[in-house]
Structure 1
Amino acid sequence: MMIKKFTGRFFLLLATMFFYGASNAAVKLPALFADHMVLQQKTKAPIWGWGSPGEEISVEASWQESKIHTKVAASGDWKIELATPTAGGPYKIKISGENLIELDDVWIGEVWLCSGQSNMTFPLKYSDSAKGEIAKADFPSIRYFGVQQQFGPEPFRDCKGQWQITSPQTAASFSAVAYYFARKLCNDLKVPVGIVCSGWSGTPAEAWTPKEVLQADDSLHYFLQRWKEIPQKVGADSVKYHLAVQQWEEQKKSGNNNLPKPDEPRNYYYYSKPWCEPGALFNGMIQPLIPFCFKGVLWYQGESNVSENNLYQNLFKALIKSWRKQWNDEDLPFYFVQIAPFGYSDLGAAAKLRQAQYNVMKTVAHTAMAITVDVGNMNNIHFTHKKEVGERLALIAQAKSYGFKNSVYKGPECFAVSKVGHGLLVSFDQTLFTIDDKKPQGFEIGYKDSKTNSLLFVPAEATIQNHQVKVWNNNVKDPLVVRYAWLEISNANLKNSSGLPAFPFQQSVEMHKSKTKSSR
C-alpha cells in the first residue's frame, strides 16, 4: 500500500533529521516542558531533553534551594528527577547548558493524560449548552496541552503542542470530556489541574498499542495480519461495498427506508488511513509523552473496534498493561468510558464490546468505567452530553485516586439472578430508582426455543423492590437469562439515588456472587 509506506517513511525521515540536529546542538526540551505547564505534585517528576554529548546541564526550580546537575549522554539525551512540592505556584524553572531556557508560570497540581478517539477529542464548542459553558470557562489554574496529530512506524521522541490557560478565548477547542473532568477536579480539590489530551478520531485501540506487544500475544496477531492483507483485499471490498450502497439507495427511492446503510468494510476504511496501523499512534502520540509524570489516564475509545468485540478485552488489557510498563507504574490509574448507545448496524456487536469493557474493569486492577447508557444518542455517535461523562470520570478519580470517602462514583451493578415463579429476580448492590420515575425499562429475558434449542430474547416487564428488580414476560414460563441495556439500550432507565445509571449486563440464573458492600 504505497500511501502507507510513503507517509511512514516521510515522518520517520523528518524525525530523524530533527533529532540528529538536536543531539548536536544546544540544550533542548520536549514540547511538554514550556511556559504555563503543570507538574504533578508531591512526586519526583522526570525532566528530560537533548544536548551536545558531555554537555553540563543544571536544572533550577524556584521552589528549591539547590540546583540539580547532570551531563548529556553520548546519545545526546539527558534526564533528571525533580522533586515537586504540594500544589501551588506560579514557579519558574531554569535549565542551563550551552544555552539557558527559562520556564515561566509553572504550576504544581494534578496532571492527567486523556486519550482515545473522537468522543474524547470532541470539542467543548460542539457540546450541550456550549455557548454558556464557554462564556464562564474562566479557570486560570486549569492548563491544557493538546498533542498535535502525528504517526509513524518508529517511535517519535517529541510532539508538537502548547500549554494553554483555560479561558473563554481558549476553551472552545478543548476536549469537552477533559474540560469537565478538570473543572470538577479543580473546584473540588482546590488545586491546579493539567490536562494532556492525545487523541485521534476514528482510530482503533491497536493503533495506540505498541506493535511489539501485539506481536508477542498470539491472540492479537489478527490485527497485524489484517493490516498486511489490506492492500490485497481492498479492491474487492470496495467493489462489493459500492454495489451494496447502490442497491440500498435504490431501495430507499422505492420507499424502503428501514434498511440500514451498508457498513464500510474495514479494509476499505483503513486503506487511506495509515495512522490506524498497529502501533502507529502509540509511536507518534504516546511515546513522546513518556516518562512525563501523570496522576492517571482517562480513556474513551471502542467505537472503532465494535466489529472486533471478541478480541477487544484482550486488546484493551494489553494496551493498559503496556502503557503501565512504559511508565514503570503497574498501578497507574486507568479510568475509561463505556461506549454510548448508538444505532450500529449490529447492535449485538456493540453490546458485546460494552461487555468486554466491563470485563476489563472487573479483572484489571486500578481501573474503573463511566457509564453512558443515559446520555447517548441512537442517531448520533457523537452525542453532545459530555458534561455528564467528564464529571463521572472525576467522581471515579475522587473516590479511587483521591480518597473521597463519601463520593458516590458508580451506578447500580447486578450481583445475583434467581428464579421467582415464572420470572426472575435481579439483585443489585444499591437501592434502585428510575430516571423518569416510570416503571423500569430496558430489560429482556431469554428462554430456550423448544424447536431449535436456541436462546431467544423478548422484552420483559419489570418492577422495583428496593435493591431488586422482578422481571417477567407472560408468554415465557421458564426464563433462563436476563439482560439489561443490551439491545434495548436507549430506553434503559435504572439509576441510583445520585442519578448515576445502572451498568448494562447479561446474566443467567446460575449467576450468584456473594453480596458485597455497595461501592460508592
Structure 2
Amino acid sequence: MNSRWMQSGTFAALFTFLLVGSLQAELTMPALFTDHMVLQRDMPIFIWGSSDKGAEVNVTLGDQKVTVTANDNGKWKAELKPLPAGGPHQVVVRSGDAEKVITDVLVGEVWVCSGQSNMQWDVNASNDADLERLTANFPKIRLISVPQVGTQEAQESFNGKWELCTPDTVGSFSGVGYFFGRQIYQTLDVPVGLIDNAWGGSSAEAWVERDVLKNSGKFNELMARWEQTEATYNHEQAVAQYKENLKAWEEKAKQAKADGKPEPGGKPGPPRNPLTNQHRPANLYQGVLNPIIGYGIRGVIWYQGESNAGRAYQYRDLFPLMIQNWRDRWGQGDFPFYWVQLADFLQERTEPGDSAWAELREAQTMTLDRLPNTGQAVIIDLGEAEDIHPRNKQDVAKRLARLALANEYGYKIVSQSPRYKSMSVEGNAIVIEMDTYGSQLDSFDTRALQGFTIAGADKKFVNAKAELIGSNKVRVSSPEVKEPVAVRYAWGDNPVANLQNAQAMPATPFRTDDWDGTTKNNK
C-alpha cells in the first residue's frame, strides 16, 4: 500500500478528529447542579448553565423535557414544573453531543444558611459535638458549602458539591444550619437541602449590591470611605513593606537570642487585603451569594450583626435593604427571612448605661415591622460573656425552626418571643403590655423580675422593681423616680434579665423611649 497514501490518510483522520473535537458542544453548569442535590418542592424548578451561542439545550427531569436556546453569551436557563417531595430523580442535560447526568436528586425543602461566624461555626465546635456526629446519619439531609470569595466580579459558580449528611460529613458544616435542618427534616419527614455561604466577621454592606447601596442615598459616608480605600490601597506595596518590617524584626530577634534576651514583641503580621475581604461593599453579594441566586429555596436563616454593632442606627436601614435586595434579585417573592438576634456578650453591668449591642438588637427588631415574612430568634439567654461564639447552637436552631414550622409549615406552636406592645403611666409606675403570641409571660430562675430600668424626664435610668400583672403585663417602678416617663428592658451588652414566655423563650429587649443612642452618628 502506498506509504504516502497512508500518511495522508493518517493526517486526514487526525484533522477530522481535531475538527470534531473543536466543534463538540460546550456544556457547563454551576456546582449547585451536581449529584445528590435537593430541589425545592412545590415551586417552579430552574436549572441553568452555559453552552455554545445559539445552541439548543434539552433538560429532562422524570417525564418532563424542556428545550431552551443559549443566548448570545452562551447562557441558558430552563424552567420545569413543580414537583412534590420525593425522589430520587435523575436530571439529564444535553447540548449537541455533550451530556451531563445528575443522579440521586431529591425534592424537598431548601434553606440558605448565611451570615457571619456564628452561622459559619460548625458542628465540630458546638455543644456535644461527639454525640451529634454519632447520630448524624440522615442521607435525606443534603449539605453544600460555598467557599469564601470576596470580589466585585459576579461569580457564577464555586468549587463545591452536595454531600449526604453522615457522621463523617456533618462535622465541618454550619452548626445552626444543620440543627435547624434536622428539626425541619424530623418534623416534616421530607428531604432537606442546606446551602451554607456564611463568612465570619462579615459586614452587612458586603452582602448588598453596590448600586443598591449608592442609590439608596443613606450610606454616602460609608461608600466614600471605601472609594478612598479602593483608590489608594496597593496590596503589593503593603506586602513589600511587611517583608521589610519582618526582616528587621528577625534581625532584632536574632540579636536578642545571641544576647540571651527574650524575643522582642511586635512581630509584624502579613497584611490583609481590604479589597478582597468580607467588609467591602458588594464583595460577598458577588462572591458567595450571586452563584446561588435563583436556585429554588424555601427561605433564609441568618446570623449576623456583630460586625455592624458600632453602626447600629445605620443598620436600621441597611439590614432591611439587604433583605429586599436579595428578594428582588432572587425573583421568588417575599421568601421567609429569619434571623438570630445578637446574643448576650461582654461583661455584665450592674448599673444602666448605653450599649451599641442593645442598639443593634433594636435595629434587628425594627426590621420585623419594615418587611413582611420575617422573624427573629431572641437568644439573650444563650450567650457567653467572654466568647462571641456561644457553643449552644442547638437551642439557637430550635428557635429558628419554631419560626419556620409555625409560619411556613402550619404547625400550631408558639414561635415568637414576647415583644413590647405599649405602655401607660399609672401614678409613680409604668405598666408595660407585651404581645405574647399565644403564650403568657413567665420568669426564669426567680419569681422576681430582673433587667428593667426606669427613668423620668431627666433621662437618667435606674434599676427598677418589676412584677407580673396577669398573663401579659409588667408593672415597673422605683422610689428614685417619682414621675416616670420611660422603661428599658435587657438594655445592655450582656443584660441580666429573666422575663420569658411559658416556652422559655426570652422576652425581646426593648425601650419605650426614642432618645439618641450611642451609635446614632456613626456612619
Q: TM-score, normalised by structure 2?
A: 0.82
Q: CA shift at 1:25, angstroms?
A: 5.3
**Residues 159, 465 of structure 1: alpha-carbon distance in 2 compared, 3 angstrom cutoff:** same
Cα distance per residue 1:73-95 (max 9 Å; x no partner): 22111110122321011111111
Cα distance per residue 1:210-248 (max 9 Å; x no partner): 0010110111222211213447999xxxxxxxxxxxxxx
Q: 1:330 aligns to what? A: 333
Q: CA shift at 1:311, angstroms?
A: 0.7
Q: 1:207 aligns to what? A: 206
Supply the distance in 1 between the matched residues of 2:390 and 2:203 (Cα, whole angstroms): 19
Moved more, 346-355 or 385-394: 346-355
Supply the distance in 1 between the matched residues of 2:160 and 2:431 (Cα, whole angstroms): 53
Supply the distance in 2 between the matched residues of 1:23 and 1:131 (Cα, whole angstroms): 53
Q: Secondary structure at the match of 2:375?
A: strand
* Corresponding residue to 1:292 among 291, 295, 298: 295
Q: 2:245 aligns to what? A: none
Supply the distance in 2 between the matched residues of 1:493 and 1:313 (Cα, whole angstroms): 26
Q: 1:355 aligns to what? A: 362
Cα distance per residue 1:401-446 (max 9 Å; x no partner): 1222x11101211212112332221111232111224311111112
Q: 2:54 aligns to what? A: 54
Amino acid at match of 2:34: A
Structure 1 segment 214-225 matched on structure 2, within 5 A:
214-225=213-224
Cα distance per residue 1:125-167 (max 9 Å; x no partner): 1111221112111111111110011121221111221111111
Q: 2:482 aligns to what? A: 477
**Residues 138, 228 of structure 1: alpha-carbon distance in 2 compared, 3 angstrom cutoff:** same
Cα distance per residue 1:48-102 (max 9 Å; x no partner): 001111222111112x2x4211222221111101223210111111111231111
Supply the distance in 2 between the matched residues of 1:333 and 1:24 (Cα, whole angstroms): 43
Moved more, 298-307 or 322-331: 322-331
Same amino acid, percent of matched pairs: 36
Q: Secondary structure at the match of 1:199?
A: coil
Does the CA-based 8 Å contact 1:24-1:53 persist in structure 2?
no
Q: Secondary structure at the match of 1:448?
A: coil
Q: CA shift at 1:448, angstroms?
A: 3.1
Does the CA-based 8 Å contact 2:429-2:484 persist in structure 1?
yes
Supply the distance in 1 between the matched residues of 2:430 and 2:457 (Cα, whole angstroms): 15
Supply the distance in 2 between the matched residues of 1:300 and 1:206 (Cα, whole angstroms): 14
Structure 1 segment 248-263 matched on structure 2, within 5 A:
none
Cα distance per residue 1:165-188 (max 9 Å; x no partner): 111111111111111110110011
- The alignment status of 1:304 with 2:307, answered yes or no, reads yes
- The alignment status of 1:26 with 2:23, answered yes or no, reads no
Supply the distance in 2 between the matched residues of 1:499 and 1:115 (Cα, whole angstroms): 26
Does the CA-based 8 Å contact 2:441-2:500 persist in structure 1?
yes
Does the CA-based 8 Å contact 1:275-1:281 persist in structure 2?
yes
Q: 1:95 aligns to what? A: 93
Q: 2:492 aligns to what? A: 487
Supply the distance in 2 between the matched residues of 1:433 and 1:45 (Cα, whole angstroms): 45
Q: 1:3 aligns to what? A: none
- The alignment status of 1:457 with 2:435, answered yes or no, reads no
Q: 1:368 aligns to what? A: 375
Supply the distance in 2 between the matched residues of 1:41 and 1:233 (Cα, whole angstroms): 49
Q: 1:415 aligns to what? A: 421
Moved more, 116-125 or 68-77: 68-77
Q: CA shift at 1:465, angstroms?
A: 2.0
Supply the distance in 1 between the matched residues of 2:23 and 2:510 (Cα, whole angstroms): 54
Q: 2:193 aligns to what? A: 194
The alignment covers a number of residue pairs equal to 449
Supply the distance in 2 between the matched residues of 1:281 and 1:488 (Cα, whole angstroms): 28
Q: 2:268 aligns to what? A: none
Supply the distance in 2 between the matched residues of 1:270 and 1:44 (Cα, whole angstroms): 40
Does the CA-based 8 Å contact 2:344-2:493 persist in structure 1?
no
Structure 1 segment 121-160 matched on structure 2, within 5 A:
121-160=120-159
Does the CA-based 8 Å contact 2:35-2:102 persist in structure 1?
yes
Amino acid at match of 2:453: E
Supply the distance in 2 between the matched residues of 1:295 and 1:301 (Cα, whole angstroms): 20
**Residues 24, 465 of structure 1: alpha-carbon distance in 2 compared, 3 angstrom cutoff:** farther
**Residues 350, 488 of structure 1: alpha-carbon distance in 2 compared, 3 angstrom cutoff:** closer
* Corresponding residue to 1:444 among 431, 434, 453: 453
**Residues 341, 34 of structure 1: alpha-carbon distance in 2 compared, 3 angstrom cutoff:** same
Does the CA-based 8 Å contact 1:114-1:196 persist in structure 2?
yes
Q: TM-score, normalised by structure 1?
A: 0.82
Does the CA-based 8 Å contact 2:151-2:275 persist in structure 1?
no
Q: 2:19 aligns to what? A: none
Q: Secondary structure at the match of 2:101?
A: strand
- The alignment status of 1:81 with 2:74, answered yes or no, reads no
Supply the distance in 1 between the matched residues of 2:403 and 2:218 (Cα, whole angstroms): 31
Q: CA shift at 1:352, angstroms?
A: 0.9
Does the CA-based 8 Å contact 2:276-2:283 persist in structure 1?
no
Q: CA shift at 1:274, angstroms?
A: 3.2
Amino acid at match of 1:102: V
Supply the distance in 2 between the matched residues of 1:320 and 1:508 (Cα, whole angstroms): 27
* Corresponding residue to 1:424 among 421, 430, 434: 430
Q: Secondary structure at the match of 2:402?
A: helix
Cα distance per residue 1:265-322 (max 9 Å; x no partner): xxx9984863421001100111111211111111111110011111111111111111
- The alignment status of 1:497 with 2:495, answered yes or no, reads no
The structure whose Rg is larger is 2
Does the CA-based 8 Å contact 1:443-1:485 persist in structure 2?
yes
Supply the distance in 2 between the matched residues of 1:425 and 1:227 (Cα, whole angstroms): 46
Supply the distance in 2 between the matched residues of 1:77 and 1:460 (Cα, whole angstroms): 63
**Residues 189, 352 of structure 1: alpha-carbon distance in 2 compared, 3 angstrom cutoff:** same
Unaligned runs of 5+ in 2: 1-21, 234-270, 516-523
Q: Secondary structure at the match of 2:102?
A: strand
**Residues 272, 40 of structure 1: alpha-carbon distance in 2 compared, 3 angstrom cutoff:** closer
- The alignment status of 1:283 with 2:286, answered yes or no, reads yes
**Residues 481, 43 of structure 1: alpha-carbon distance in 2 compared, 3 angstrom cutoff:** same
Q: Secondary structure at the match of 2:220?
A: helix
Q: 1:240 aligns to what? A: none
Q: Secondary structure at the match of 1:292?
A: coil
Q: Secondary structure at the match of 1:57?
A: strand
Supply the distance in 1 between the matched residues of 2:275 and 2:80 (Cα, whole angstroms): 43
Q: Secondary structure at the match of 2:46?
A: strand
Supply the distance in 2 between the matched residues of 1:364 and 1:80 (Cα, whole angstroms): 31
Supply the distance in 2 between the matched residues of 1:275 and 1:509 (Cα, whole angstroms): 32
Amino acid at match of 2:90: K
